[in-house]
Structure 1
Amino acid sequence: MSETIIEIENLYKMYRLGVIGTGSFKQDLQRWWTANVLRKEDPFFQITQGNKQDTSPETIVALQNINLKVKHGETIGIIGKNGSGKSTLLKIISRIVRPTHGTVRGKGKISSLLEVGTGFHQELTGRENIYISGYILGMSKHDIQRKFDEIIAFSGVEQFIDTPVKRYSSGMYVRLAFAVAAHLEPDILIVDEVLAVGDADFQKKCLGKMREVSQAESRTILFVSHSMQAIKNLCDKAVWLHQGQMQAFGPSAAIVNKYLTSTQDAHLLQVWHTQDEAPGNDLVRIRSVELEPQLASPDAPLDIRTPLTVRVQFWNMQEETVLNIGLHLFTASGECVFDLPSPAVTCAKGLVEGECTIPGNFLNDGSYYVSIIIVRDTSISLYYHEECLRFELEDYRENIQWYGKWWGAVRPQFPIQLKQAMLSIPQDSI
């Protein structure tokens, strides 16, 4: 069995809003004496029984009761919404921030990519900043010299290496900063949102370097990202944090599915049982609209592979009239993806229903809403029910190592082929 390289026990972190220290010199002195000389619990933040905090309105709990063990060579993804405590946890493990309560034990050298570019001086050249940043991140002069050419090649700024970094574009600046940090040789690599900046080529290099570190060099990685595909493909396990608490820990695919299912903003059904309360007019009234995802399993999230069936029922208050419905699909920003009309049908007075299935592997990931229009004689609008359904599709990629945003509103799987072409050379040219 692999040895435990990071162990976190009963970890809490609290902050007092708007105050540096306790707000009182006497309390600051008492706190320092108790924690550093007497080696007792911090007297300012008290943890009560039952693993709950005795907090005031001025106190915010960033992390509470975190317990985690990481084995040597594992790649652990950390996921959660903004403000869930991900970066705070990494800073505590990196020994940048002290915990309020609890312990963190680790073995080996830690390298943290939390703030890419820390230590860069705007007036110095890229070459000079490589040495300064390397020193700050724990590299010796010999290590920097040995890896200097590799760092420059990785950054892609060879032509400007002797130019002051204040003249670099933001992309060049980040490339050089990440190149320095990525070529450390730590036992534990901590990475926070490296995929949030840079172009597709930069992201590919970042992910490739992380894969090399985790697989070829068998080092431990803690990786924070909002790219769920990157988490599933790069990480063995995942930790889900929510409002400072650990919701789940386990295999990355299962934890990501749980997280996505819980966060998807969906409004999939509206039903009105009587005509009096139903939306519409004297001609037609909506009874129900529903979007039913055809999920592979009950706990699977909605993603681009999921077929979506839209059903609508409405009361027709007219005798023998020609009706059809239109399904309008919009992105969250209001751009129309498609306007799909049904065939026109002669309908008697009473309940009318329609159904349409949007196939899987057609829409791109993102948020969408559906509007329904009821039309008479294929030209006269009777009623338009706006934004009656709302759903969100997550990304899914198989055998693709790039995790940037996929272009387009749709993402169909049309047949496309690639094959090796045979080049024939005329005999008289030889």
Structure 2
Amino acid sequence: MSEVILKVEHISKQYRLGLVGTGTLSQDLKRWFYKIRGKDDPFLKIGDTNDRSKAAESDYVWAIKDISFEVKRGEVLGIIGKNGAGKSTLLKILSRVTSPTTGQIKTKGRIASLLEVGTGFHPELTGKENIYLNGAILGMTKAEIKAKEQEIVEFSGCQRYIDTPVKRYSSGMRVRLAFAVAAFLEPDILVVDEVLAVGDAEFQKKAIGKMQDISKGDGRTVLFVSHNMAAVKSLCTRALVLESGQTAFEGKTEEAVNFYLKSNRTNLSKALEIRKDRSGSGKLKLTSIQLFNKKGDAVDSVISGGFMRVKFNYEVLSKVDSELVFAVSIKDRNNNIKSLFVSDEMNIDVNILINRGFICLDIENVLLRGGEYNLTVLISEFNTDAVNHIDRIEMAFDLIVLQGDYYGVGKLNRMQPYSIIPATFS
């Protein structure tokens, strides 16, 4: 039986909304006095669950609540969930950046964390100096760090700037160097949050390959948080799904990803006008999306290679003086973007049409294989200074694409995912 290297037992973390502390000096002193005596916090309250879509009914919220799991040496555990589900809070507790309100963690060996761009870096120090600083924090000797220095620099691709202060690095350079330091200084447990998304495609591929080497070749453990379901599937041996700060599912990676995507799709049954998981200024509000074929008939699905009209219905809640742009991205079941359509690139002047309450994007050829997809929709305004989101909704609409005779040869194209394609096609 493989050795358990990390054991999490009933971990919870509570935060107070608004004010920091209890609200009065006397109560803060009372809390401190209880703590040094080894007693429970006298002001620990029940609090709300971590559902960001609902108005608070309490001054306290459980960012995560009663989470327990074990990780064995050499495993790669994926931690997935929507924004605000508690993933980053959990990783910060595991990395000892913050302490849990209740519960305990048992670990064997060193933990290295990459939670934010440039985690643990001092901006005034050079890249090389930060390598030695991070190694010292991990408990390594100068000789051990020096033996790994060249590998770290080469992997990061920052050779030219290694003697330059980190404050002058781009975000991509920082994450490259930070990942290289965390991966090559041989921690027993490597904790990686969504930061790899900052790097370019070439670096992401290198980083995922390195994490596979760490787990399979070196027998070390990786905790990996990502919204890229394809990366989770290819890298992780097991996955944990968090919802509103609690464990919703734990099991095999494929089953966990399917559970997560299915739970997201249940939200699509709600009308867009009452969806709370949206962002933007709110000057316009999407209320519904409809699909039409070339005849103008409303449809529930489209044919691969065929015509598709996407109709956005919305309310104008505030005057917009800047240039408006509507966009729709089509994503597959692993949340990878397969197509992106933007109104200004299609020569549609939204501002002229704004007061009629709907806009249509016509897609002449749906270049997608048969299967299930979803639409992320976005309304933005452009001005001289920046691009500002007005309304953005992830997984706003389920799209079913039927197999089609795309090439007109009397043969239907294959479905996605591509696992059904014969080996000769791969």
| TM bin (shorter chain) | 0.5 to 0.7
Deviation at 1:218, TM superposition (A): 1.0
Contact 1:268 1:290 in 2 (8 A): no
Give the structure 2 partner of residue 135 of structure 1.
136
Query: Residue 391 of structure 1: CA displacement?
Result: 2.1
Structure 1 gap ranges (5+):
49-54, 270-278, 292-307, 311-324, 341-357, 370-388, 395-410, 419-430
Secondary structure class of the residue paired with 1:76: strand
Cα 1:42–1:309 change in 2 (3 A) is farther
**Contact 2:241–2:248, Cα closer than 8 Å, also in 1:** yes
Q: Deviation at 1:101?
A: 1.5
Aligned match of 2:300 in 290, 308, 313? 290
2:82 and 2:260 map into 1 onto residues whose CA distance is 10
Return closer, same or farther for 1:327/1:121 CA change in 2, 3 Å cut-off.
Answer: closer
Closer, same or farther in 2 for the Cα pair 1:204/1:368, shift >3 Å?
Answer: closer
1:16: which partner in 2? 16
Question: Contact (CA 8 Å) 2:308, 2:362: kept in 1 or not?
Answer: no
Which residue of structure 2 aligns with residue 29 of structure 1?
29
1:188 aligned partner: 189
Decide whether the 8 Å contact of 2:126 with 2:163 is kept in 1: yes
Provide the residue aligned with 1:163 in structure 2: 164
Residue in 1 that maps onto 2:309:
328
Distance 1:166 1:64, change over 3 A: closer
Partner residue in 2 for 1:106: 107
Please say if residues 127 and 162 of structure 1, whose CA atoms lie closer than 8 Å, have aligned partners that are also in contact: yes
Counterpart CA distance in 1 for 2:417 and 2:19 is 54
State how far apart, in whole Å, the 1-side matches of 2:241 and 2:173 are: 33
CA distance in 2, matches of 1:199, 1:243: 31
The aligned residue for residue 151 of structure 1 is 152
- 8 Å CA contact 1:194, 1:206 repeated in 2: no
C-alpha separation in 2, matches of 1:119 and 1:189:
14
Q: TM-score, normalized by length of structure 1?
A: 0.64
Letter in 1 for 2:136: Y
Take 2:3 and 2:227, find their aligned partners in 1: how far apart are those partners?
29
Aligned to 1:201: 202
Q: Is the 8 A contact 1:73 1:221 kept in 2?
A: yes
**Range with greater deviation from structure 2 (23-32 or 183-192):** 23-32
The structure 2 residue matched to 1:367, chosen from 363, 372, 375, is: 375
- Name the structure 1 match of 2:383: none
The number of equivalent residue pairs is: 315
Q: Distance in 2 between matches of 1:72 and 1:19?
A: 41
Q: Distance in 1 between matches of 2:116 and 2:296?
A: 56
For 1:10 and 1:119, the matched residues in 2 are separated by 28
Give the Cα–Cα distance (whole angstroms) in 2 for the partners of residues 87 and 266 of structure 1: 25
Aligned partner of 1:80 in structure 2 is 81
* 1:338 paired to 2:363: yes
Q: CA deviation at 1:180?
A: 1.4
- Per the TM alignment, residue 329 of structure 1 is displaced from its structure 2 partner at its CA by 5.4
Distance in 2, Cα, partners of 1:326 & 1:129 = 54
> Which whole-Å CA distance do the structure 2 matches of 1:189 and 1:254 have between them?
24
CA offsets 1:37-90 (integer angstroms, 9 cap, x no match) = 1x2322221459xxxxxx962111101121212222211100001110001111
Distance 1:133 1:116, change over 3 A: farther
Rounded Cα–Cα distance in structure 2 between residues aligned with 1:95 and 1:123: 24
Q: Which amino acid aligns with 1:225?
A: S
- Runs of 5+ unmatched residues, structure 2: 48-55, 272-289, 312-327, 330-341, 347-360, 378-395, 402-415
Q: Residue 78 of structure 2 contacts residue 253 of structure 2 at CA under 8 Å; is this kept in 1?
A: yes
Task: Answer yes or no: is the 8 Å Cα contact 1:151–1:180 preserved in 2.
Answer: yes
Instruction: Tell me how far apart the structure 2 counterparts of residues 337 and 104 of structure 1 sit (CA, whole Å).
Output: 54
Q: Distance in 2 between matches of 1:362 and 1:236?
A: 28
Q: AA paired with 2:363?
A: F
Distance across 2 between alignment mates of 1:56 and 1:102: 25
Aligned to 1:91: 92
Kindly provide the amino acid, as one letter, of the partner of residue 339 in structure 1.
E
Partners of 1:112 and 1:163 lie apart in 2 by 23
Q: Deviations over 1:212-234 (max 9, x none)?
A: 11110111211111111111111
Measure, in 1, the Cα distance between the counterparts of 2:214 and 2:249. 26
Alignment correspondent of 2:229: 228
Distance across 1 between alignment mates of 2:104 and 2:140: 27
Maintained 8 Å contact 1:6/1:106: yes
- Find the aligned partners of 2:85 and 2:308 in 1 and give their Cα distance: 38
Give SS of 1:171's match: helix
Cα distance in 2 for partners of 1:412, 1:47 equals 44
- Relative to structure 1, is the Cα distance of residues 57 and 201 closer, same or farther in structure 2, using a 3 angstrom cutoff? same
User: 2: distance between equivalents of 1:194 and 1:261?
Assistant: 25
* Residue aligning to 1:253: 254
Residue identity in the other structure for 2:66: N
Higher helix share: 2
Quick one: distance in 1 between partners of 2:240 and 2:246? Answer: 10
- Is 1:68 the counterpart of 2:69? The answer is yes
Q: CA deviation at 1:153?
A: 0.6
CA distance in 1, matches of 2:157, 2:10: 44
Change (3 A) 1:120 1:364: farther
User: What TM-score do the two structures reach when normalised by structure 2?
Assistant: 0.64
Whether the aligned pair in 2 keeps the contact of 1:137 and 1:181 (CA below 8 Å) is no
Letter in 1 for 2:36: N
Report the AA paired with residue 111 of structure 2. Answer: I
String of CA shifts for 1:142-187, please: whole Å, max 9, x gaps. Answer: 2211111111111112122223334333322322222212212122
Do 2:370 and 2:400's aligned partners in 1 also have CA atoms closer than 8 Å?
A: no
CA spacing shift, 1:285–1:172, aligned 2, 3 Å? closer
